[in-house]
Structure 1
């Protein structure tokens, strides 16, 4: 059984990922607030999800070149710097064009950081990489848990949601100073600082992992971007409470990732992802059908329990089936997640404008079914006796 060793570098990368997630989940529930503030439709508000997608897609497109020229270390900090710039810009943005621009910038920076972190964790931890990635995302979700609470609290206090979002700048500066003082640097990718290495074709199993990432990314962005709108529309809670209540979803994600990190050292990632999809759909059904606020929030927590493992398992499988090319796989994964961020919230917003947010949310179990089909196929193509360690090492 692989052993996960958490050294200083591991903890720094955990915190770096968490700072991006603070921005992501701090901004996630404000789409309905922006809709009210800017007097726009749900379709136009859903363009913020599309802007997130554009940033992720652009980041994925340039990631291999930037990784080779700048290295993972610089790329991670440049990405976090762009996230801070986006948070600061959003503080003064009161026009749709500006909010979309800074959303794209933040997502672009996040894509650079998170993909470099995932690739570095894969190289640094070897066979224990799936557990490390899950644990990193658990730590990040723990920070993301407080983000909607802070944003909702500043909104309710009259300071505005932007004040809560821009607070991310302070810990980024603190961690950057610590990493510099202790000379903490991630392992660099093969070919860094040299000629461009020839990429081998990715294995035939890789597109299945990519398909699942697209589908589970669609689930996550729909629930985080529009979950509070359903609480307002169907469970009849106030805007401030609905924004803060999204923390129940993230609390479930934290619990799922903490438990999943341990289980991934014992069980096959494909089987665990299938179980996570079932748990997510069960929680969604409770959330979607409940009219009592506390019951709807309980459903969100259960949905988050399953959803918490979607991304770490999906990216872990993509990197494992990369034939030893984690940076290339991470870049391609950005496209899958980016496209999901583009298509899903816009489609859900457009459908919600026609039939209402509650029935439109039935897109979520449809995405879960797509992911399940892809993972079932991937599981069948994987040798029956492969354990987690073998799956993680399969791409190396």
Structure 2
């Protein structure tokens, strides 16, 4: 079993990703509060998800060129600076155009950060890369678990949700001062053989489709899960905002457990199991009319969702034909499109039929992911993946 060595660089990367997740999960349950504050429809409030999508899509388009020009280290810190700037900007934003602008900037910064971190961890840890990615996401989700609680508490005490969100700025500044390490740069500028980027294989796009579907599930639950709690389980606005933390608690648990299992079992089969757990959790969440049962369902959703992204991005990198930075950047398109399509579709549908019925989109996305992952499993079987540097982490995830 590969050994994961957590050196100073690893811990700095974990903290960097955690700061992004604080903003992401802190802002997620704010959409219903913005709807009330700005007196807008669910459809308009869901445009914040579209703003996140635009930032991610633009990031996916420009990251390969920016990485070649400026390197991963600078891009990671640029992304973290944009996230902190967006949090500070939200503190003074009381108009839809401004909140949308800062959401887009934060997402662009997040795409710079995440793509750099995923590629850096893969190269830095080699065969232990998948465990490092899963553990990084577990640490980040643990911090994200606190964010809705802080934002909900700030809202409930009259300080406003912005006071909770802007707290991300302080640890960002402290980390910038005391980090003292640099993220590894790409081993070569371009592809593994130094030529122009090759076309990504069909198996990569299956993994990318799964990332789109599971990203849709996660963004729907984080942006609108609190609205279903208010509408169907009769939970107050402040408590519903904080209650999204139950889903993030499930994600933390799933990633902690999954990080170990990922070194032993095939990632495609683990992802199918995670999708089944998410479906079971959603069934309980959607059908429950008692607050604690609905929150238990959210925990179950998080338990499965916690492994969706780490496994999906790991599969995407493994099937990148030796082009990890390009694959990570193009994966931003998949996640970005999910942020654009899913919340807007759900919000628009919710304005017509109510949030509870509209949430049936979630199991549809789970089924889509299951279909493409099953196809990927059949295509790859138990064969060893290619021996490029990006395939090595996934070989370690096969049965021992």
Alignment of 1:168-207 (within 5 A): 168-179=168-179, 182=180, 184-192=181-189, 198-207=196-205
Alignment of 1:1-396 (within 5 A): 1-179=1-179, 182=180, 184-192=181-189, 198-386=196-384, 392=394
Partner SS for 1:200: coil
Query: Which 4+ runs in 1 deviate beyond 6 A?
Result: none
Partner SS for 1:314: helix
Partner SS for 2:264: coil
Report deviation, 1:259. 0.3
Q: TM-score, normalised by structure 1?
A: 0.96
CA contact (8 A) 1:151 1:163 kept: yes
Within 2, Cα distance between the matches of 1:355 and 1:218?
Answer: 19
Partner SS for 2:119: helix
Report deviation, 1:2. 2.1
Per-residue CA distance 1:290-326 (angstroms, 9 max, x = gap): 0000000000001100000001110111011111111
**Between Structure 1 and Structure 2, how many residues are aligned?**
390
CA contact (8 A) 2:126 2:393 kept: no
Within 2, Cα distance between the matches of 1:393 and 1:276?
Answer: 20
Within 1, Cα distance between the matches of 2:197 and 2:203?
Answer: 17
Structure-2 change in CA distance of 1:192 and 1:173 (3 Å): farther
Report deviation, 1:131. 1.2
Report deviation, 1:280. 0.2
Structure 1: tracts of 5 or more residues without a match: none
Within 2, Cα distance between the matches of 1:349 and 1:315?
Answer: 27
Q: Tell me which moved more, 73-82 or 122-131.
A: 122-131
Report deviation, 1:204. 2.0
Within 2, Cα distance between the matches of 1:4 and 1:274?
Answer: 25
CA contact (8 A) 1:86 1:103 kept: yes
Within 1, Cα distance between the matches of 2:8 and 2:268?
Answer: 30
Within 2, Cα distance between the matches of 1:45 and 1:322?
Answer: 36
CA contact (8 A) 2:319 2:391 kept: no
Within 2, Cα distance between the matches of 1:260 and 1:163?
Answer: 34
Q: Tell me which moved more, 123-132 or 203-212.
A: 123-132
Structure-2 change in CA distance of 1:169 and 1:197 (3 Å): farther
Within 2, Cα distance between the matches of 1:355 and 1:43?
Answer: 12
Partner SS for 1:233: helix
CA contact (8 A) 2:384 2:395 kept: no
Q: Tell me which moved more, 34-43 or 7-16.
A: 7-16
Structure-2 change in CA distance of 1:393 and 1:188 (3 Å): farther
Report deviation, 1:125. 1.2
Report deviation, 1:190. 3.6
Structure 2: tracts of 5 or more residues without a match: none
Report deviation, 1:364. 0.3
CA RMSD of aligned residues (A): 1.7
Within 2, Cα distance between the matches of 1:234 and 1:247?
Answer: 18
Partner SS for 1:168: helix
Within 1, Cα distance between the matches of 2:167 and 2:279?
Answer: 34
CA contact (8 A) 1:69 1:192 kept: no
Within 2, Cα distance between the matches of 1:118 and 1:3?
Answer: 18
